[in-house]
């Protein structure tokens, strides 16, 4: 009899992986035996064995049964840890409120400047391409996953924004002068709305080469997406990045000026490769272009009228960029970098956690989102939060009857397999 115990992830989880061991501890032959017995055995056991072998390849973990059950006999358990944090927003009128969006695990809100986080996801979706905040109303927030869900009470209740056409894929959105602007579909069609129900089509810029695509493997074509258009706004202008092509600017949403293009020798503009910060009426732009395993940083301090190209170069394709009047942060698939006009440094970060989203908060702290939650950097160093984010996409549960309390969970959207040794109260990635 041969036992196989396979584990995912390659981490040392306290159990021994044994392959090809016979009962009794003898090593199994590497090749199957072709020896045939001269005489078949005619001996028949009088009774089949009713007890399994007491020999085990691993010891069951010590567990404690749940202490409290409800009237239906259920005890509350936790969910596997979540993460995949890619989007952050902070409202200047209410800086204690910070929003964090995950492409896999929902929308989270902090009311204490990023210390603790609470799940406020709309029920219609859990995959967000962008978070939009209304400039004069900190309670208004919208998130998009092709369609848009919005809340007027800080995420307590949600409504679904009806699309101007059906089907329509919302690529990006931003508030500008009391209007919510949308850029939709691969054509780059611009719409505006004032009442969340009727839309005005303003113009179509065109030229996006492909529909939204997976940015983390072909198995995620219905999940994680990157978009060809990114729309940002200050109090004086709209800025629209077209991946691989150009940056356009408008003051009315109808007429657009191409102000940053792809000159020869400059790497293509990266998806979501633009950051905007308004300071005393001046728009500071930070822009990233990626190609050949490198990312280059460019900047303008006057709303795109003049540019400093190739300000810095870092290794890795772009994940995210953010900045303020003087500093910027860029996350690539090789590391986390923070810089100024004069210098740049790589920050210590565990690349195994796969950093993704980033945000420089108004108090100069840095937030970086990753596969397992997020981390905050201040003068004291990094603080990691892995407790407030959970993965609700559990699609399979497993257990070993002879090991009470040992549970296994399989999750959707490439978040992996998890194991619990305490009846599902806490989970670890396998």
pTM of the model as a whole: 0.77
Chunked into runs of 10 residues, the chain (430 residues) has average pLDDT values of 34 35 39 47 52 61 70 71 86 95 86 93 68 94 83 93 67 92 86 86 72 40 61 96 91 92 72 93 95 94 94 95 97 96 95 90 96 92 89 78 84 73 79
Could you tell me the fold of the domain covering 85-385? Answer: Methylamine Dehydrogenase; Chain H (2.130.10)
Query: Given this model, what pLDDT does residue 126 score?
Result: 61
Cα–Cα distance between 17 and 9 in angstroms, integer?
12
Lookup result for tokens 């950051």: 275
Angle at 273 between CA 267 and CA 274, to 5 degrees: 120
Q: Where are the beta strands (DSSP E) in 251-365?
A: 257-260, 269-279, 282-291, 294-300, 308-315, 318-323, 328-332, 335-339, 344-347, 358-360
Instruction: Report angle CA 265, 269, 273 to the nearest 5 degrees.
Output: 140
CA nearest 332: which of 354, 316, 347, 345?
Answer: 316
> Can you give the pLDDT at residue 219?
31
Q: How far, CA to CA in Å, does 288 sit from each of 59, 147, 190, 336? A: 52, 27, 23, 14
Could you give the CA distance from residue 314 to residue 297 in angstroms, rounded to a whole number?
8
pLDDT at 396: 82
Beta-bridge mates of residue 232: 239
Q: Give the pLDDT confidence score for residue 199 in this predicted structure.
A: 86
Calpha distance 28→9 (Å, rounded):
25
CA atoms of 398 and 81, how far apart (whole Å) = 17
DSSP string, 317-334: -EEEEEE-SS-EEEEETT
Q: What are the tokens at 419?
A: 């194991």
């Amino acid at each position: 009899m041969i036992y196989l115990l396979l584990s995912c992830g390659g981490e040392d989880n306290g159990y021994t992986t044994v392959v090809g061991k016979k009962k009794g501890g003898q090593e199994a032959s590497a090749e199957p035996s072709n020896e045939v017995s001269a005489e078949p055995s005619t001996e028949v056991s009088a009774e089949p064995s009713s007890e399994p072998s007491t020999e085990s390849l691993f010891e069951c973990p010590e567990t404690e049964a749940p202490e409290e059950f409800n009237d239906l006999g259920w005890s509350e358990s936790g969910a596997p840890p979540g993460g995949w944090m890619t989007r952050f927003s902070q409202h200047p009128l209410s800086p204690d409120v910070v929003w964090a969006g995950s492409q896999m695990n929902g929308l989270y809100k902090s009311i204490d400047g990023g210390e603790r986080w609470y799940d406020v996801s709309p029920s219609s979706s859990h995959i967000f391409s962008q978070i939009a905040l209304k400039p004069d109303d900190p309670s208004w927030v919208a998130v998009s996953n092709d369609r848009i869900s919005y809340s007027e009470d800080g995420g307590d209740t949600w409504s679904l924004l009806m699309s101007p056409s059906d089907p329509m894929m919302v690529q990006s959105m931003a508030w500008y002068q009391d209007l919510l602007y949308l850029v939709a579909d691969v054509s780059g069609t611009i719409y505006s709305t004032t009442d969340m129900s009727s839309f005005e089509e303003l113009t179509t810029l065109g030229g996006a080469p492909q529909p939204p695509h997976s940015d983390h493997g072909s198995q995620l074509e219905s999940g994680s997406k990157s978009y060809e258009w990114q729309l940002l706004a200050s109090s004086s202008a709209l800025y629209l990045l077209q991946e691989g092509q150009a940056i356009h600017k408008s003051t009315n949403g109808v007429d657009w000026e191409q102000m940053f293009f792809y000159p020869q020798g400059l790497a293509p503009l990266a998806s979501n490769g633009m950051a905007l910060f308004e300071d005393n009426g001046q728009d500071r732009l930070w822009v990233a272009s990626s190609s050949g395993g490198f990312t280059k940083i460019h900047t303008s301090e006057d709303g795109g009228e003049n540019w400093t190209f190739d300000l810095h170069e870092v290794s890795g394709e772009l994940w995210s960029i953010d900045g303020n009047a003087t500093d910027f942060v860029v996350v690539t698939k090789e590391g986390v970098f923070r810089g100024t006009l004069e210098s740049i440094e790589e920050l210590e970060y565990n690349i195994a956690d796969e950093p993704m989203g980033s945000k420089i908060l108004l108090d100069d702290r840095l937030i970086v989102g990753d596969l397992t939650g997020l981390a905050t950097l201040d003068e004291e160093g990094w603080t990691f939060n892995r407790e407030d984010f959970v993965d609700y996409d559990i699609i399979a549960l497993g257990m070993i009857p002879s090991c009470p309390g040992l549970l296994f969970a399989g999750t959707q959207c490439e978040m992996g397999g998890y194991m619990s040794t305490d009846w599902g109260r806490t989970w670890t990635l396998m």
